[in-house]
Amino acid sequence: MKVLCFGSVNIDHTYRVTHFTAPGETQTCQDYRIGRGGKGFNQALAVRQAGVETYFAGMIGEDGLFVKEFLSERNVDTELLRIAPVPTGHAVIEVDIHGQNRIMLFPGANHRIDTPFIDEVLSHFSAGDIVVLQNEISGLPYIMEESRKKGMTVIFNAAPCGAEVASYPIGMADWLVVNEVEGAYLSGETAYDAIPEALRAKYPGVSVLLTLGGEGCRAVTDTEDISLPAKKVTVVDTTGAGDTFIGYFVKGLVEGMTLRERLSLATAASAVAVTRPGGGDSVPTYEEVLDSGLLSL
Ligand code: RIB
């Protein structure tokens, strides 16, 4: 079973602020750093740091080659991470004193993914393999349809959740992963409790994983409905925590863990991630998760 993360790479420009900058306001930041990010990159790194063999497919510009080198150094297969004649995607991220973030995205090369490239990527995978997707690249409906036709397990993280997502063939996914904002948008329900059922009514047969930050998570499948609380930790930066959660959830899937074990592992890993600054830079290794004392399988 191979794991393909077909997704975005962003160069993250992170600004630490006391509060989110208001319209018309100019705010001086406390800190600024450039890091590796993008939901695709972060999730691929999380799967790999969790100890699972990982294939990454996507597009970067020449300015993003350092990200490719970083992934290769960590033994992520980057044969299918290609260079387009445009800049790499980038994100402008504000992180406030509570560790919450606000993100503005420029897609750049992430939107150069087209049908011939998708066909080439998927030709390397077959039934039983897993594909992990987020909404930061072009061509998603086609990727979902073709992956499903091949019999791959499709995990779709509907983030970020713009109007276009409603038209995607989400019913072809095995797992739909959303946070409270994305879940409310796609389901039309604002009460957290009602989101999974509403999504499952809309997309029959699709298992739903709802992440609620400090409020924990809930997974609903045809046969199970499991909620787990979040771990209590000191939050430094929530950027990339959802991506870490998904990467470790995938590890559990690959290793045949029960749903509860998968959620426990993902909860512990994302709790470690929020204690650190950065998107991709905050993703812990499996050893770090074990050493954190936060894992209770
Ligand atoms: O999920 C966090 C990521 O969202 C950041 O790394 C940023 O690049 C945006 O894509």
In order, the DSSP letters of 102-150 are: EEEEE-GGGGG--HHHHHHHHTT--TT-EEEEETTSS-HHHHHHHHHHH
Determine the residue of 41, 70, 93, 237 to mutate for testing ligand 1's pocket, defined as the one with the most ligand atoms within 8 A of the Cβ atom: 93
Residue 243 has what pLDDT? 97
pLDDT confidence of residue 280: 85
Tokens 């994100």, located at residue: 91
Cβ proximity of 170 and 164 under 8 Å: no
**Residue minimizing CA distance to atom 2 of ligand 1:** 240
Low-confidence ranges of the chain (pLDDT < 50): none
Q: What is the pLDDT of residue 84?
A: 98
Expressed in angstroms and rounded, the spacing between residue 224 Cα and the centre of ligand 1 is 30
CATH class of the domain comprising 3-21+29-283: alpha beta
Residues with CB under 6 A from ligand 1: 10, 12, 37-39, 42, 91, 103, 105, 136, 239-240, 242-243, 279
Predicted pLDDT at 296: 81
- Predicted local distance difference test score (pLDDT) of residue 190: 87
Q: What is the pLDDT of residue 213?
A: 92
How close are the terminal C-alpha atoms of the chain, in Å?
A: 24
pTM over 0.85? The answer is: yes
